[in-house]
Amino acid sequence: MADSTAVSEPKHSGPRQFDLDRCVHCGLCLNACPTYRVLGLEMDSPRGRIYQMVQVAEGAPITDAYRQHIDLCLACRGCESACPSGVRYGRMVEDARAELEANRERGWWSRHMRHLIFVRLLQSRTALSVAGTMLYLLERSGLKALARGLGQIRLLGPWSDLMQLTPSADPPFFFSKIGQTFPAEGERRHRVAFLAGCIANVSFARLNEATVRVLQKNGCEVVVPEGQGCCGALHLHSGLPEEARKLACRNIDAVIGGEFDAVITNAAGCGSTLKEYGELLEGVPEYAEKARRFAGLMKDVTEYLGSIELNRKLGRVEAVVTYQDSCHLSHGQKVRRAPRELLSAIPGLEFREMAGADLCCGSAGVYNVVENAMSMEILERKMETVNATGARIIATANPGCLLQLQAGVRMHGTGQRVMHVVEVLDLAYKTA
C-alpha cells in the first residue's frame, strides 16, 4: 500500500468557489431530486443545498440544519444530469461533507465505530472474511430469517426495515480468486483487469464469478490483480478523502504496468469513483499522471461489453425484464444505453422501460442505513413504478441497488428476481 505521506495533500475547506459559481439558480434540477420530490422543500433540493453551501462559503456558521440538509442528500447526482449549467454537484457535496467532517466533534463511540468500519473492516481481507463468516453462521442458524420475519410484521420497531437491508454472505468468498488469471474462451481478443470490490467479495461472490465468465465468453483474458482493495467511494462519500486517496494509490499500484486494454468493475458506485482517481490525486505529484492513466482505462462491465463485439451465442431467457439505472452509472458515468442494449440482445427477453428509471432507488451507499426513513420512502415509490411494468426480473448494475431492490421485493412480497445485467447475460450464455 502507498505510503500515507504520499497522499496527505489537498484539504478543501468546502466546495470550490468556481463550482458554487456555476449554479444560476434556475431550478431545472428540482424535479430530478428524489428528496425534493418526497419533501417538497427548497432546502432539500439541489438548488437549496447549493444556496446553503454558498452561505457557509461566505462565512455563515455551520448549523445542525445545514448538516441535516447535506446529510439527507443521496449524492445520486440526478441533479447533475438535469442541470443545463454543468454544475458538478457530486464533487460539491463530497467537498461539503469533507468540510462538515473536519468540523464535527464526534464522541468516542462514533469515532471508534467509523475507524472500525472504514479502516479496519473495509480495508482488510481478513476482517471482511471473518465478518462474512460470522454473517453466514448467523444466517445458517436461522436467526437472520427470524429477524427479517419479525421486521416484516414491524415487531422490531425502527430496526424492522434495517433487517431487510443487511447483505447476505455468499461463500466461498471471491477473495480466493484474487491474484488469478482466467483465460479467454476461444481466441484471446482482449486482456482486462477486474477489480472485485471489498464487501462484494463476501456478499456478491457469485456476481463477481458471473462477471468473469461473461468477460471470458467475450474473448477476454481476465486478470484479478493481487494488490487491489476497496476503491474508497464510501470513504469519499463519508467525508474521508485522505483515506480514499490511500486506497486509490493502492489500486493504481496494483494495475498500472499490467498492459490491460481496460480495467473493469461491475459496481457502478465504485466505477464512478475509480474513474475520478485522476481528480482525486491531481495534487499528489507521485500519482497524478498514473491516476489519469488509470482513470482512462476504467470501464463499467456493461460499458465495456457494449464497446466490443458481443458474443451473440446467447440462449433464450423468457421473461419480462425492466432496468433500474444505477445513479453512479447513469448520472456519474453517463452510461445509459449499454445495459439496455445488452438486455435487449437476449433472445426471448422482453424489455420494458419503467417510468423514472433514472431516479435513485434510495440505496446510495450507506444512506439506506443512516437515513433509513427517507430511503424507505424513496424505495416505496420505486417499487410502485417497478410493479407497474409487470416485469419478473429487475435488472440493475450496482450491488447496493441489488440489495435495496431485493429489500423492496421482500417488503412488498411481489417475488421478482433482482439481478445484475451481467447475471442475466450469464444466464443466457448458460442456456445457450
Asked if 346 is part of the footprint of ligand SF4 (rule: CB under 6 A), the reply reads no
| Residues 245-264: x where in contact with ligand SF4 by CB under 6 A, - otherwise, as a string | --------------------
Instruction: Say if residues 164 and 148 touch (Cβ distance below 8 Å).
Output: yes
Q: How far is the CB of 88 from ligand SF4 (least distance, A)?
A: 10
- For residue 212, CA distances in Å to 192, 205, 216 come to 10, 11, 6
**Cβ at position 83, least distance to ligand SF4 in Å:** 3
* Cβ 86 to ligand SF4 shortest distance, Å: 8
What's the min distance (Å) between Cβ of 19 and ligand SF4? 10
The rounded distance, in Å, linking the Cα atoms of 100 and 71 is 10
Q: What gap in Å lies between CA 50 and CA 326, rounded to an integer? A: 23
CB of 76 to ligand SF4, least distance (A): 4
Q: Footprint of ligand SF4 on residues 389-428 (CB under 6 A)?
A: none
Q: What is the CA radius of gyration of the chain?
A: 21
For ligand SF4, the closer CB: 49 or 420: 49
Neighbours of 130 (CB within 10 A): 13
Please identify, using beta-carbon distances, which residue of 43 and 308 lies nearer to ligand SF4: 43
- Parallel, antiparallel or unpaired: strands 262-265 and 298-300: parallel
Nearer to ligand SF4, 19 or 139 (CB): 19
**Cα–Cα distance for residue pair 120/279, rounded to 1 Å:** 26
> Of the two residues 249 and 361, which places its CB atom closer to ligand SF4 in the complex?
361
Q: Of 9 and 101, which CB lies nearer to ligand SF4 in the complex structure? A: 101
- C-beta of residue 125 within 8 angstroms of C-beta of residue 133: no
Residue 42 contacts residue 84 (beta carbons within 8 Å): no
Q: Which residues inside 15-74 make contact with ligand SF4, applying CB under 6 A?
A: 23-29, 32-35, 46-47, 49-50, 73-74
Q: Match 412488498 to its residue by C-alpha cell.
A: 412
| Cβ proximity to ligand SF4, 47 vs 148, nearer residue | 47
Residue 146, class by beta-carbon neighbours within 10 Å (0-12 exposed, 13-18 middle, 19+ buried)? exposed
**Residue whose CB is less far from ligand SF4, 211 or 330:** 330
Q: Tell me which DSSP letter residue 183 carries.
A: P
Q: How far is the CB of 15 from ligand SF4 (least distance, A)?
A: 12
Which of residues 46 and 229 has its CB atom nearest to ligand SF4 in the complex? 46
- The least CB distance from residue 96 to ligand SF4, in Å, is 11
Q: Is 378 helix (H, G, I), strand (E, B) or coil?
A: helix
Footprint of ligand SF4 on residues 367-396 (CB under 6 A)? none
Element (H, E) at 182: strand 181-182
CA pair distance 338, 344, nearest whole angstrom:
10
Site map 67..106 versus ligand SF4, x via CB under 6 A: ------xxxxxxx--xx-x-x-x-----------------
Q: Which is nearer to ligand SF4, 47 or 340 (CB)?
A: 47
The dihedral formed by the CA atoms of 245, 247, 251 and 252, expressed in degrees to the nearest 10: 20
**How many C-alpha atoms does 289 have within 13 Å on its Cβ side?**
3
Count of residues that bind ligand SF4 according to CB under 6 A? 27
Q: Interface residues with ligand SF4 (CB under 6 A)?
A: 23-29, 32-35, 46-47, 49-50, 73-79, 82-83, 85, 87, 89
